[in-house]
Amino acid sequence: MQLRCAAFLGSALIATHAAWGWGGEGHQIVGAIAMTRLTPEARAAIVELLGDEDLATAGLWADQIRGDPTYDWAKPFHYVNLPRTAEAIDLARDCPTGECVVAAIPRFLAEAANRSLPHEKRKEALKFAVHFIGDLHQPLHAGYKDDLGGNRIQIVAFGDQKTNLHALWDTVLINHRTSGDWKRLAEELVAAAQPGLVAEWQSNLDSTDWANESAAITRAIYRDLPADQKVDEAYYAANIETIRRRLTAGGYRMAAALNKAFAAAAVPAPVAPTAKPSGQRAPAAEDRRQVPAAD
Ligand SMILES: [Zn+2]
């Protein structure tokens, strides 16, 4: 989410390190689940924009560029903060300039699907959209500013693992028993997904609702945090199902959101010139320049 602790990387390099959303595995899991539910139109659009890269890998990019000042403008888009006393997100209060994850998701989905934009811009927009859909399903991305979404709350996990609350939910709990085998976990979550729940998730593509779900879980996380800030097997057992459910919901919703965005962006049918109202510019000619010729 946001910058926090210093971490040793390798032997000598000290880098500012932060927990910024599901760790790599979380984003890979969400992307891999989404790949199982794409329409042919969405799949074709993703190949057009990303080439060989799939959504599991594409979801990592927005964290990989966090050190690049060119992209500093995107930093607030990974999360939304709300008051601790708030029951729900209020975009006028919590995202007044549109610089939060709730607004970023529809913005970048629309940019990714907009054939009048340059290819490179659409490609980046797709990678941002994919990452932010993942982020918003990590509950602590609808969190509190005063502790940087839990980054300032020190935690000791499973006896000796020093971490913080945000990182605990990003990576530590996911990896506790899977040991980084995210592909297997993604397959397991797809196999375990209940069709009724999947339909429910996919029927609601409103990112404000997704944020409210996360905010509700965040409230419970703070309420249930052990006073000594030590988490153990009992904490894992009590919370892992929530994490599995958020990863799964994120994956299926990502597919549904991309299917919808790219269905709307399907190659427009040729329009007879006489059908255009006079005085209105026809966007189709320019749009079609981006589109490979049909067979
Ligand atoms: Zn992020």
pLDDT by residue (tens digit) across 54-93? 999 999 999 999 999 999 999 999 999 999 999 999 999 9
Given the structure tokens 């879980």, which residue do they identify? 217
16-33 confidence digits (pLDDT tens):
344 556 778 999 999 999
* pLDDT score recorded for residue 285: 34
Average pLDDT in the chain: 86
User: What is the whole-number distance in angstroms between the Cα of residue 133 and the centre of ligand 1?
Assistant: 9
22-264 has which fold? P1 Nuclease (1.10.575)
User: What is the whole-number distance in angstroms between the Cα of residue 214 and the centre of ligand 1?
Assistant: 14
User: What is the whole-number distance in angstroms between the Cα of residue 125 and the centre of ligand 1?
Assistant: 14
User: What is the whole-number distance in angstroms between the Cα of residue 282 and the centre of ligand 1?
Assistant: 38
User: What is the whole-number distance in angstroms between the Cα of residue 21 and the centre of ligand 1?
Assistant: 4
User: What is the whole-number distance in angstroms between the Cα of residue 150 and the centre of ligand 1?
Assistant: 14
Residues making up the chain, counted from first to last = 295
3-state SS assignment for residue 92: helix
C-alpha–C-alpha distance, residues 124 and 113, integer Å:
11
DSSP state, residue 71: G
Give 195's pLDDT tier (boundaries 50, 70, 90): very high
Q: Which residues surround ligand 1, an ion (CB under 5 A)?
A: 20-21, 78, 135
CA 89 to chain centre: 17
Mean pLDDT, residues 205-219 taken together: 98
Give 269's pLDDT tier (boundaries 50, 70, 90): low
User: What is the whole-number distance in angstroms between the Cα of residue 5 and the centre of ligand 1?
Assistant: 16
User: What is the whole-number distance in angstroms between the Cα of residue 225 and the centre of ligand 1?
Assistant: 23
Whether residue 290 contacts residue 115, with contact meaning beta carbons closer than 8 Å, is answered with yes
C-alpha–C-alpha distance, residues 129 and 125, integer Å:
6
* pLDDT score recorded for residue 179: 73
Whether residue 33 contacts residue 59, with contact meaning beta carbons closer than 8 Å, is answered with no
User: What is the whole-number distance in angstroms between the Cα of residue 94 and the centre of ligand 1?
Assistant: 18
Mean pLDDT, residues 258-274 taken together: 72
Q: Which two tokens stand for residue 162?
A: 């020093």
Whether residue 145 contacts residue 85, with contact meaning beta carbons closer than 8 Å, is answered with no
Mean pLDDT, residues 218-222 taken together: 97
User: What is the whole-number distance in angstroms between the Cα of residue 294 and the centre of ligand 1?
Assistant: 37
- pLDDT above 60 for 276: no
* pLDDT score recorded for residue 226: 96
Q: Which two tokens stand for residue 269?
A: 């049918």
Q: For the whole model, what pTM was predicted?
A: 0.84
The contacts of residue 103 (CB under 8 Å, 6+ apart) are: 77, 91, 95, 207
Q: Which two tokens stand for residue 38?
A: 């794409």
Whether residue 251 contacts residue 30, with contact meaning beta carbons closer than 8 Å, is answered with yes
User: What is the whole-number distance in angstroms between the Cα of residue 29 and the centre of ligand 1?
Assistant: 14
